[in-house]
Amino acid sequence: MNITNPISSQKLKWRIFNDKLFSIVMITFAFISAIPLLSILYQLVKKGYKQIRLSFFTEVAPDTMEAIMAKANHEIIPGGIANGIVGTIIIVGMASLIAIPLGLITGIYLSEASKGKMTNMVRFVVDMLQGIPSIVLGVIAYIWIVKPVTSGFSALAGSVALSIMMLPSIVRSTEETLKMIPSTLKEAALSLGVPYYKTVLKVLLPTGMSGISTGIILGISRIAGETAPLMLTALGSSAINLDITQPSSAIPLLVWEFYNDPNLIDLIWGASLVLLLIIFLLNLLAKAISKKWKVQY
């Protein structure tokens, strides 16, 4: 019955060694991923913080001449990214206006009619949308809006592309949040004689508010940094532009423009830093909301 012999105890040591080695390798690999992250953040902050002054937010992007002049005088390149900030706000805002109602309705539908052919179809389509590369959405918005509607590049076209992009995240979070709400709550409202649509609007949606708004904010943060679809739709503009049928700038588009103009390269870092800060703040906001407003069932 005694199976402990010298060979197996040697083997045991080997196995324990293997086990330890594996955990060490795993932990090392897991945390190596921090290096690129730190490197990116370090680079942005180190090179970008100099540009961040008040005028960086209030002035539009400089043209090449201004930049060359400033450089020749060893000054910081003047101007800012006001056109990009305004453009991003307009484009993302409009995208949200399109995507939020549509996403809410689809999400409610999926959670209420959780089975059936139609539901499966809708779910399938949402899955598909989620996987579409953003550049393809740019092509779509070009064909749908740029050519027939605004006959030229426009902020509206950019919004359409981005709205399709944020839709799946809103649908998913709405569906999942509503599904978590116990059915007794719905039944309680219905048993009070509240009509169905009012039950959804006045009981279910407010109860699921934190989950849904988290989804919306994450959706916004996902599209705020998108560049590729905007290159095919909003194009970019050197001035602040409030007309949605006209080309418009956006912060990521400005980064791209600065990148392509050797004289403006110094501005990349400030613009990227601002963009990154916006996205991180949105993520933090989403986290805070989902923590603070968590409804206890």
Partner 1 sequence: MMAVGILATLIVGSIPTFKEFGFGFIFSSDWNPTEGRESYGALPFIIGTIATSILALAFTFPFAFSIALFLGEYYKKGRMSSILKSMIDLLAGIPSVVYGLWGFYTIKPIIVELGLNAQGFGIFTSAFVLAIMIIPYASSISAEVINMVPSNLKEAAYSLGATRFEVVKNVIIPNAGSGIFAGFILAFGRAIGETMAVTMLIGNSNKIPTNLFDLGNTMASLIANQFGEAEGLKYTSLVAMGLLLFVITGILNLIGKMVMRKFTA
Partner 2 sequence: MESTVLNKTDDRIIQIESPILNIDNLSVSYGGDKYSIMNVSAGIQKNKITAIMGPSGCGKSTLLRAINRMHELYPETHHKGGITLGGEDIYKINPIELRRKIGMVFQRPNPFPTMSIYDNVIAAYKLNGIKLKRSEKDEIVERSLQEVGLWDETKDALHKRGTFLSGGQQQRLCIARALAYKPEIILLDEPTSALDPIATAKIEDLLVKLKKNYTIILVTHNMGQAARISDHSMFMYIGELVEYGKTKKMFTTPKDERTEAYLTGKFG
Partner touching 1 among partner 1, partner 2, none, CB below 5 to 8 Å by kind: partner 2
User: Count residues contacting partner 1 (CB under 8 A)?
Assistant: 61
Residue 76 CB coordination number (10 Å):
15
Between 4 and 73, CB nearer to partner 2 = 4
Binds partner 2 by CB under 8 A, chosen from 6, 10, 15, 262: 15
Binds partner 2 by CB under 8 A, chosen from 4, 5, 191, 296: 4
Distances in Å between the alpha carbon of 252 and those of 117, 180, 236, 242, 270?
40, 37, 10, 18, 12
Q: What is the CA radius of gyration of the chain?
A: 26
Does position 136 interact with partner 1 (CB under 8 A)? The reply is: yes
Does position 5 interact with partner 2 (CB under 8 A)? The reply is: no
Does position 105 interact with partner 1 (CB under 8 A)? The reply is: no
Between 9 and 114, CB nearer to partner 2 = 9
For the bound state, the minimum distance from the C-beta of residue 256 to partner 1, rounded and expressed in Å, comes to 6
* CA nearest neighbour of 280 among 209, 218, 226, 228: 218
Among the residue ranges 12-20, 46-54, 119-127, 250-258, the one whose residues contact partner 2 (CB under 8 A): 12-20
Does position 109 interact with partner 1 (CB under 8 A)? The reply is: no
Between 61 and 164, CB nearer to partner 1 = 164
**Token duo for residue 241:** 């532009």
Residue 40 CB coordination number (10 Å):
12
| Residue 285 CB contacts under 8 Å (≥ 6 apart), including other chains | 217
Residues forming beta bridges with residue 248, ordered by sequence position: 235
Distances in Å between the alpha carbon of 72 and those of 62, 68, 78?
15, 6, 13
Among the residue ranges 58-66, 81-89, 140-148, 196-204, the one whose residues contact partner 1 (CB under 8 A): 140-148
Write the DSSP symbol of residue 52.
-
Residues forming beta bridges with residue 235, ordered by sequence position: 248
Partner touching 90 among partner 2, partner 1, none, CB below 5 to 8 Å by kind: none
Q: Are 250 and 91 in contact (CB under 8 A)?
A: yes
Unique residue bearing structure tokens 């001449």: 65
* CA nearest neighbour of 62 among 43, 45, 46, 84: 84
Binds partner 2 by CB under 8 A, chosen from 10, 11, 40, 121: 11
3-state SS of the chain: helix, strand, coil percent to 5?
Answer: 75, 0, 25
What length does the chain have? 297
Binds partner 1 by CB under 8 A, chosen from 18, 58, 151, 184: 18
Partner touching 11 among partner 1, partner 2, none, CB below 5 to 8 Å by kind: partner 2
Partner touching 26 among partner 1, partner 2, none, CB below 5 to 8 Å by kind: partner 1
Alpha helices by DSSP H, listed for 192-250, are 196-198, 205-207, 209-224, 228-231
Binds partner 1 by CB under 8 A, chosen from 154, 173, 272, 290: 272
Does position 239 interact with partner 2 (CB under 8 A)? The reply is: no
Binding site for partner 2 (CB under 8 A): 1, 3-4, 8-9, 11-12, 15-16
Query: Which positions lie near partner 1, rule CB under 8 A?
Result: 15-16, 18-19, 22-23, 25-34, 36-37, 39-40, 43-44, 125, 127-136, 138-140, 142-144, 164, 167, 221, 224-228, 231-232, 235, 252, 255-256, 259, 268, 272, 275-276, 279-280, 283
